[in-house]
């Protein structure tokens, strides 16, 4: 992958990874971090990340430190015009300067991530060249990496930045470093909900800010009924604050689906590892699933699967014949619940229900 400047001649002693969020983007940055660690096993690596998603990589063996930004506290204080906002910023900047990186890599390519890399004081700041740098983030970088084409998968994009900075080539590994006790607890949780049926996780939601990516909830209910008719146990995945929507899905499915429950990010990853399949939209749990080796049936509308599809083999991507726009009434033309159920059954080696749907339970 070409770069605008050669890799550093001296091995860095302290490397700052900048990828503040969100969950799926953090997962897609992990393969690059693994290659960085392999290239410089003696270096100290810190990751600048927002509170919340930070829990996913807390204690990760490839990292020596997390530098956590409490974005919600900062935003709340800023709305009140409280001096506490300045306190949050100073503490975060102080932690960056205390780490004193030789190299900062801005994997996020936004204004705020570029600013974080600059605030760190790193003399070597790697970022993407325009047009892959958003919001002028390339202006904070003094080593800018061009990409060969406009549409490149986010995993490959992160690997390109790491390679430009000198990281080694190797296998693509998004290792969440789940412990055996975490995996065992996830398996027990799923078994308690699914019983003897094959457990199929269903992740119907996205952040409210990106609600235009959501496949309609009533269609997800049909998907759940179809999966149940095929002999599976659909387990509905939702995050904190999404319980009402998950409960609505369970009701609309006639009880075919069961809520996976309010669990943390690592617990969710462990539960997904125990499922036979995940059916999901373009959302964080989809990336957790492929990272732990669970096959995915991914449903896309306005977002581009070339950039955002589950990484690796064995997954099924369902996308409209043309890219739709977020303002369109039907953002998922041709993607029916029956088609999703059929794809899931084929991936699991199960017979497709005759009508692709399960009847509502009384």
Residue 1 lies in a domain: no
Residue 313 lies in a domain: yes
Distance CA 15, CA 12 (A): 7
Residue 30 lies in a domain: yes
Residues 112, 43 share a domain? yes
Residues 187, 145 share a domain? no
Residues 257, 232 share a domain? yes
The pTM score is 0.92
Distance CA 39, CA 157 (A): 18
- The parent domain of residue 304 ranges over 180-348
CA 69, chain centre distance (Å): 18
Residue 134 lies in a domain: yes
Q: What was the pLDDT predicted at 148?
A: 86
Residue 127 lies in a domain: yes
Residues 112, 49 share a domain? yes
Q: What was the pLDDT predicted at 262?
A: 85
Residues 209, 98 share a domain? no
Residues 191, 157 share a domain? no
**Residue 271 tokens, joined:** 């539960």
We report the CATH number of the domain holding residue 79 as: 3.40.50.2000
Residues 331, 295 share a domain? yes
Q: What was the pLDDT predicted at 7?
A: 53
**Residue 322 tokens, joined:** 């043309």
Residues 194, 134 share a domain? no
Q: Which of 115, 140, 164 is the last residue of a domain?
A: 164
Residue 306 lies in a domain: yes
* Pairing relationship of beta strands 44-50 and 65-69 according to DSSP bridges: parallel
Residues 18, 152 share a domain? yes
Backbone angles phi, psi at 358, to 5 degrees: -105, 145
Number of domains composing the chain: 2
Q: What was the pLDDT predicted at 2?
A: 39
Q: Which of 113, 130, 164 is the last residue of a domain?
A: 164
Report pLDDT digits (tens) over 187-211: 999 999 999 999 999 999 998 899 9
CA 52, chain centre distance (Å): 13
Residue 173 lies in a domain: no
Q: What was the pLDDT predicted at 81?
A: 87
Residue 301 lies in a domain: yes
Distance CA 103, CA 120 (A): 9
Low-confidence ranges of the chain (pLDDT < 50): 1-3, 356, 358-362
């Amino acid at each position: 992958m070409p770069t605008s400047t050669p890799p550093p001649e001296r091995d860095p002693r302290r490397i700052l990874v900048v990828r503040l969020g969100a969950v799926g983007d953090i997962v897609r940055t992990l393969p690059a971090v693994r290659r960085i660690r392999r290239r410089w096993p003696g270096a100290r690596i810190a990751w600048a990340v927002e509170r919340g998603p930070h829990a996913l990589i807390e204690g990760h063996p490839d990292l020596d430190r997390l530098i956590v930004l409490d974005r919600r506290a900062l935003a709340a204080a800023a709305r009140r015009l409280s001096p506490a906002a300045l306190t949050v910023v100073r503490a975060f900047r102080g932690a960056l300067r205390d780490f004193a990186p030789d190299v900062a890599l801005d994997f996020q390519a936004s204004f705020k991530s570029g600013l974080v890399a600059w605030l760190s004081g790193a003399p070597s700041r790697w970022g993407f060249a325009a047009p892959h740098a958003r919001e002028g983030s390339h202006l904070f970088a003094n080593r800018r990496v061009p990409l060969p084409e406009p549409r490149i998968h986010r995993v490959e994009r992160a690997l390109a930045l790491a390679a430009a900075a000198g990281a080694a080539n190797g296998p693509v590994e998004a290792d969440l470093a789940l412990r055996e006790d975490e995996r065992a607890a996830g398996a027990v949780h799923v078994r308690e909900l699914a019983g003897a049926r094959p457990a199929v996780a269903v992740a119907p939601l996205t952040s409210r800010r990106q609600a235009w990516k959501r496949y309609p909830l009533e269609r997800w209910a049909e998907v759940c009924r179809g999966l149940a008719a095929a002999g599976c146990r659909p387990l509905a995945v939702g995050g904190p604050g999404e319980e009402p929507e998950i409960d609505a899905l369970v009701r609309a499915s006639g009880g075919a689906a069961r809520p996976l429950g309010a669990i943390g990010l690592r617990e969710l990853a462990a539960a997904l590892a125990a499922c036979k399949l995940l059916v999901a939209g373009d959302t964080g749990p989809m990336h957790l699933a492929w990272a732990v080796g669970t096959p995915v049936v991914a449903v896309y509308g306005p977002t581009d699967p070339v950039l955002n599809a589950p990484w690796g083999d064995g997954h099924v991507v369902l996308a409209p014949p043309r890219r739709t726009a977020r303002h369109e009434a039907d953002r998922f033309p041709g993607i029916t619940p029956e088609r999703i159920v059929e794809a899931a059954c084929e991936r699991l080696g199960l017979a497709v229900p005759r009508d692709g749907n399960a009847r509502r339970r009384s």
